[in-house]
Amino acid sequence: MIMRAPASDLPLLFEGVAVVAGAVTILDDLSLTIGAGAPTVLIGPNGSGKTTLLRAAMGLIPPTSGRVTWGGREHALPDRSAIMFQRPVMLRRSAAGNVRYALAVAGVPRLERRTRANELIATVGLKGLERRPARRLSGGEQQRLSLARALARDPAVLFLDEPTASLDPAATKAIEDLVRAISGRGVKVVMSTHDLGQARRLAGEVVLLHRGRLVEAAPAADFFAHPRTEEGRRFIAGELLV
Amino acid sequence: MTGDASALQLVLNGDPALYAIVKLSLLMSLSALLFATLIAVPCGAFLALVRFHGREAVIVILNAMMGVPPVVIGLAIFLLLSHSGPLGAWGLLFTPQAMVIAQTVMVTPIIAALARQTIEDLWMEYREELAAMSVGPSRRIITLIWDARFSLVTALLAGFGRAASEVGAIIIVGGNIEGFTRTMTTAIALETSKGDLPLAIGLGMILISIVILINALAWGARRLGERYAG
C-alpha cells in the first residue's frame, strides 16, 4: 500500500504559463499554486484548458512561455507523478501485464512485480480479471486499470483527466471512492471534471478555468458558498459558459 | 489428365529428388525470412519512431523497393558476387548462400515497409501513455515491437510469400544447378520449358500447399495471441 509524508515535490507552481498552438491560445498567462492536501479539482467548460493544464503539469507539453516548477526546482520533473488520461490507452497485454509493465518502467525489481501488480489490481477492484486482455475490459474497468497503472509509479502527485467522463453512475462511484482513498493516503490528486457534483464531492480546492484563463481558485467550501467571480457564480448556477 | 495423375504419384511416392528440392526451397526461404526480419523490423521501428532529415524520402524509396522486379535484384547480386565483382572473392556465386542473399535483399524492404506502418500506427496510439510513464527510447522500441508482434506476422507472411514464390533472382544467382541450387520455383520454370509437366505440376501443388499451411499456422498463432493479449 502507498503511504507517504506530504509530497516534497509540492507546491506545484505555474508562473505565467501560456501554451499556444498555432494561432490558438490554449492556456493564457496562467499562474497557480497547487499545494499538498485534499484534491485540487479543475472545472470549466470543454476547451477551457483543463487537459492542457494537466499535460503541462505532467511535462508532456512544454509551456510556450512562463514556467512550471516543482517544490521550487526548475526542471526536476518528479519521477513520481502519474497521469490518467481521459481515454486511457491499454497496452496489448493482459490486465496484470499492463500494471507489470508500469512497474518495470518504474524500476520495480522483476521478482516483486507479480505480487505488486496483483495488489494494485485488487486495490482498484479488478481482482479476478488479472489475465483478461486489457483491451477487452469495459470502459469503467479500463479506467480503473489505468488508475492501477498510474499508482504503479508510486506517485506523489496523481493527475486525473476527466476520470469518469462517459462512465455510468456505479463506475463513477467506484472511481470516486478510489480517488478519495488515494488522496487519504497522502497522494496529491489533481483532477479535471466538468461534473459539478463530482467537484463538490471530491474537491478540497477548486480551480475554475474559462477560455484558457484562470478565473477563480479557492477552497472548495468557499467557492461553492461564495464564488468571487461572475463566471464562478454562473457556472455553479448551471448556466452555460461559452 | 494423365499429367495430373503422375504428378500426384510423384508427390505421394515421396520422390527423393523432389523432396530434396522442396527441402532446399524451404530452408532457403526461411533463412532469408529470418535474416530479413532481423534487419527489417528494427529498421522499420527506427523509421516509425525517429524523425530525421530525409525520413520521408527513405520511406518512399522503401515502399518503391517492394516493387522492384526480382530479376533486377538478381542481376545486382550477380554483379556483386561474380568473379570480377567486389565480393567475387567470397566465391558465393551459384551457391544456396547467394540465393539466400538475393532473397534477403528482396524481402527486407517488404517487411521493413510493412513493419514501419504497423509500428507507427501503434506508436501513435501508445505515444502519450509511454511519455507519461517516461519510457526511454530503447524500451519504447522494444515495447512497440513486442506489442505489435501479432500484427507483424502479416508483414512476415508477405515477406515469406515473396521469397517462396520468386524465381527470377535466384535463377540468376543460383544457376538452377541440379541437386545443389535447384528450388521448387526454378525447377518448375525448367521442367515446364522442358515439357516435363508432371514434375512441374507436382512441385506447384507442393508449393501451394506449403504456402497455405504456413499462412494457416501464422493465422492460428495470431488468433491465439490476440485472445491472450487483446
pLDDT digits (tens, 9 = 90+) for A61-78: 999 999 998 887 765 555
Min Cα–Cα distance to chain A from B219, Å: 18
Nearest CA in chain A to B140: A105
Q: Which of A154, A181, A199 is the last residue of a domain?
A: A154
Judgement on whether residues A241 and A206 belong to the same structural domain of the protein: yes
**CA gap B184, B164 in Å, rounded:** 9
Residue A172 domain-assigned (yes or no): no
pLDDT digits (tens, 9 = 90+) for A19-45: 998 889 999 999 999 999 999 999 998
pTM for this predicted structure: 0.85
Mean pLDDT score, B52-81: 93
Q: Is the pLDDT of residue B4 over 80?
A: no
Judgement on whether residues A22 and A66 belong to the same structural domain of the protein: yes
**CA gap B221, B201 in Å, rounded:** 30
Pair A179, A39: CB distance under 8 Å: yes
CB-CB: which of B126, B143, B228 is closest to A89?
B126
- Using an 8 Å CB-CB cutoff, list chain A residues near B134: 79, 105
- What does the pLDDT read at residue B6? 72
Q: In what order do the strands lie in the sheet with A12-21?
A: A24-34, A12-21, A65-70
- Using an 8 Å CB-CB cutoff, list chain A residues near B125: 89
Q: What cell was used for A161?
A: 483527466
Judgement on whether residues A126 and A163 belong to the same structural domain of the protein: no
Closest CA to A107 of A119, A96, A116, A120: A116
Instruction: Give residue B76's identity as a one-letter amino acid code.
Output: A
Superfamily (CATH H level) for B2-229: MetI-like (1.10.3720.10)
pLDDT digits (tens, 9 = 90+) for A213-242: 999 999 999 999 999 999 999 988 887 776
Nearest CA in chain B to A94: B229
Residue A69 domain-assigned (yes or no): yes
Residue A185 domain-assigned (yes or no): no
Judgement on whether residues A97 and A215 belong to the same structural domain of the protein: no
Strand positions, DSSP E, B86-172: none
Pair A131, A167: CB distance under 8 Å: no
pLDDT digits (tens, 9 = 90+) for B123-160: 999 999 999 998 998 999 999 999 999 889 989 999 99
Q: What single-letter DSSP state applies at residue A46?
A: T
Residue A183 domain-assigned (yes or no): no
Q: Which of A129, A154, A179 is the last residue of a domain?
A: A154
pLDDT digits (tens, 9 = 90+) for A144-189: 999 999 999 999 899 999 999 878 898 899 999 999 999 999 999 9
Task: Give the residue numbers spanning the domain of A133.
Answer: 81-154
Q: Is the pLDDT of residue A6 over 80?
A: no
- How many CB pairs lie under 8 A apart between chains A and B? 50
Mean pLDDT score, B183-205: 90
pLDDT above 90 covers a percentage of chain A that reads 74
- Using an 8 Å CB-CB cutoff, list chain A residues near B133: 82, 102, 105-106, 149, 153
Contact B134 A88 (CB under 8 A): no
- Using an 8 Å CB-CB cutoff, list chain A residues near B139: 105
Contact B132 A135 (CB under 8 A): no
Judgement on whether residues A150 and A30 belong to the same structural domain of the protein: no
Residue A174 domain-assigned (yes or no): no
Which residues are within 8 A (CB) of A201 and not within 5 positions of it... i.e. 6 or more apart? A176
Number of independent structural domains in chain A: 2
Q: What single-letter DSSP state applies at residue A134?
A: G
Contact B143 A133 (CB under 8 A): no
- Using an 8 Å CB-CB cutoff, list chain B residues near A133: 226-230
Residue A228 domain-assigned (yes or no): yes
**CA gap A34, A41 in Å, rounded:** 10
Nearest CA in chain A to B145: A92
Judgement on whether residues A57 and A163 belong to the same structural domain of the protein: yes
Contact A135 B230 (CB under 8 A): yes
Judgement on whether residues A7 and A108 belong to the same structural domain of the protein: no
- What does the pLDDT read at residue A171? 87
Judgement on whether residues A163 and A68 belong to the same structural domain of the protein: yes
CATH number at residue A41: 3.40.50.300
For an interface test with B, the pick among A54, A89, A90 (most B C-beta atoms closer than 10 Å) comes out as A89
Min Cα–Cα distance to chain A from B138, Å: 12
Mean pLDDT score, A115-140: 93
- Using an 8 Å CB-CB cutoff, list chain B residues near A153: 133
Residue A122 domain-assigned (yes or no): yes
